[in-house]
Amino acid sequence: MVDRKLRLCVLLIGLLVAVPLFPTDMKSFIVIGYSISEYSFAVTGKTKEESLRHDVVPPVEPVYDTQDALIMALDGKRQALLNRRLFNSVSYSHALTEIVDSIAYYGVLFTVGDASSFFVLPYPKYSTDDGIRFGVKGSEKNLFGTYSQFNFVVNTTQTAGRDKDTFWDWSRREDFFQIDFDNLQLGSAIVDMDTEFSGRLFSHGEYKLDVNVKEIPFFGATLRFNPSIKGTREDDSSWTVSEYKLITDLGTLMIGGSRHSWYNEIILTGQTSDAIAAITTIRRHDLSVLSHPIAFSLTWDAAADLRDSDGNRDFIPTRVKVGPDVGTEFSLPLGFRWSTNIASRLNIPRKDALAYWMTISFSNTLSRSDINWHDDFRTGSTLKLRFDMDWFMIPEPELMNPLDSRKAGWTAEAQFTWFPFATKVFNPSLRIVGHYSDTARKLLPLENEDITIADNMRGILESNSTVRTSGNDRTFALIGNFNFTTRFITLESFIKTYVSPFIDVGIFSNMDAFSMKTEDYDWLGTIGVEGIGILSKFPSFPIRASLGVNLKDIIDYAKGIKSASGIEHEIFIGMDFFF
């Protein structure tokens, strides 16, 4: 009986001690959301924590409905770091830190191991266009651990080509060098710099220098200051500047309670300052329609000659345009984004013009990108579809030239890259680029106007008869590149090698008109093989060597029309993937 009373007393005392340990508000045990309260990083290497935070920490941390959704988001952040190709390893761990208002907050630790980010590659190259080239390429893709990049290229090219009599003659050689920095952080500012020379060193050539300083603090706003020059030198003459350009971009300023930014571009051309052009744009940033943000800007675009036909100083307007732009962007299901923009320009008459006229431009772009790296292979796709339409409102079109007298102009363009799957040894891929337009123009990508048909096809040279006859400007162009990348030899902890047979096919309209009749379009095709080596310590520097041959020439050789020495081919050695 005494033992029983003793046990009851012990139980009561235990309850009295334990009750305060339980929360009086039982809602604290109900979790309805999951979020991240803090990020920390353990880095082996030089990468700065600020750079990693920029990749994985959002401006506003979301609350996820389930723990699986939280894990999926963390996996996506890890994949974003791997996609930079700057790290040998990326992993994370997470632990519950607290529960507040039914939200479970976690602390996350990312453990990152840097890969080597600086690499130099001497390379030779031969093509029937230019002959022999010797050069060196170098790149640093994580300068000072801030994702800043430094690249340089130095080469000399024989430029003898098919002229067999001068095959060993370097008297016509062309030298080239380029040095550029991207996103170099200097204090609170960011600097891009590009300097380039092509021609004959110490003799003649062309050069350019472009310095772009961004994010400069300026009275509560940020300023971009971007001067550049271009110049030339003829044989036995001094260097001259052929173009001065200055771009300033100020934003964002509060004016009248609204956010505005200002862009200005001035270009002075000619060795004796023969012409000037200026573009000024004022943007408004906080407009919305039905709570959806829209972009609005007003642009003034003008140009003038500073000398008359006799070379005397004068001011002769050659272009004056003014008008607004309105645009917006939408996020669509499945990761698509749709942007649309409409712009109008009033063209004010020049001295020799007879009437005011107006253009209205309408642009739509649909895009999506979800390519991810898995070791040295990729999966996913990118898609970009764009359609541009211009209307010309001309009071007296018969007085204008034939191009200006068109009622409208349009261009449809597409770019699609697809890596359908990746096994341990095989990773096929394809890229399709093309456009269809009412006027002849270059092929994609539009971001680089120097890209030609030969640049998009391995084994086609600039001297190709089809390219040379009709040029690179076509009303219709469609190119498909097909790769069949297969793992070859792997030496653990040193290098992985891959072999990639490829086929490139292109269809192009002639300059006159487009139809599917044989006489109105051209086709080109190439076949070949690429060899790719990726050093284990340098995953962001694929060394690629390719040999492509003209498929038409192979067919002609099989028919006995062309000799083996006449088959067009191209050899390439460099530090990048073709796409």
Domains and CATH numbers, the chain: 33-114 (3.10.20.310), 332-341+355-398+405-578 (no CATH)
Joined tokens for residue 46: 């030089």
Cβ neighbours, 10 Å, residue 543 = 20
Joined tokens for residue 105: 């907050």
**Predicted local distance difference test score (pLDDT) of residue 352:** 57
Joined tokens for residue 231: 């110049």
**SS3 assignment for 509-537:** ECCCCCCCCHHHEEEEEEEEEEEEEEECC
Specify whether the CB–CB gap between 525 and 478 falls below 8 A. no
Q: Residue 52, Cα to own-chain centre: how many angstroms?
A: 21
Indicate the burial class of 244 (C-beta count within 10 angstroms; 0-12, 13-18, 19 or more).
Answer: middle
Distance CA 121, CA 295 (A): 45
Q: Please give the single-letter amino acid code of residue 67.
A: Q
Distance CA 119, CA 575 (A): 9
Joined tokens for residue 479: 């190119």
Residue 354's nearest CA partner among 398, 301, 310 is 398
Query: Which one-letter DSSP state was computed for residue 578?
Result: -
Residue 301's nearest CA partner among 314, 319, 315, 285 is 319
Q: Residue 315, Cα to own-chain centre: how many angstroms?
A: 39
Specify whether the CB–CB gap between 197 and 207 falls below 8 A. yes
Is the omega angle on the peptide bond into residue 445 within 30 degrees of 0, that is, cis? Answer: yes
Tell me whether strands 33-44 and 103-114 are parallel, antiparallel or unpaired: parallel
Cα 347 to Cα 59, 121, 192, 301, 539: the distances in Å are: 43, 51, 35, 9, 52
Q: Which helix (H) or strand (E) covers residue 552, if one does?
A: helix 551-558
Question: What is the pLDDT tens value at each position of the chain, 579 positions in all?
Answer: 545 555 545 444 544 444 444 444 434 568 899 999 999 999 999 999 999 999 999 999 999 999 999 999 999 999 999 999 999 999 999 999 999 989 999 999 999 999 999 989 887 776 666 678 889 999 999 999 999 999 999 999 887 554 544 555 677 788 999 999 999 988 889 999 999 999 887 778 899 999 999 999 988 889 999 999 999 887 767 788 889 999 999 988 888 778 899 999 999 998 777 899 999 999 998 898 888 899 999 999 999 988 887 878 888 888 899 999 999 999 999 999 999 999 999 988 765 555 678 889 999 999 999 999 999 999 999 999 999 998 887 765 555 544 444 567 889 999 999 999 999 999 999 999 998 888 766 655 444 556 788 889 999 988 887 777 666 778 888 999 999 999 999 998 899 999 999 999 999 887 554 444 435 788 999 999 999 999 988 888 899 999 999 999 999 999 999 888 889 888 888 888 999
Distance CA 140, CA 148 (A): 8
Joined tokens for residue 68: 């699986």
Q: Which helix (H) or strand (E) covers residue 427, if one does?
A: strand 426-441
First to last CA, the chain: 87
Is the omega angle on the peptide bond into residue 252 within 30 degrees of 0, that is, cis? Answer: yes
**Predicted local distance difference test score (pLDDT) of residue 298:** 96
Instruction: Give residue for tokens 């992993």.
Output: 91
Specify whether the CB–CB gap between 393 and 409 falls below 8 A. no
Query: Which one-letter DSSP state was computed for residue 442?
Result: P
Reduced to 3 states (helix: H, G, I; strand: E, B; else coil), residue 15 is: helix
Distance CA 123, CA 503 (A): 24
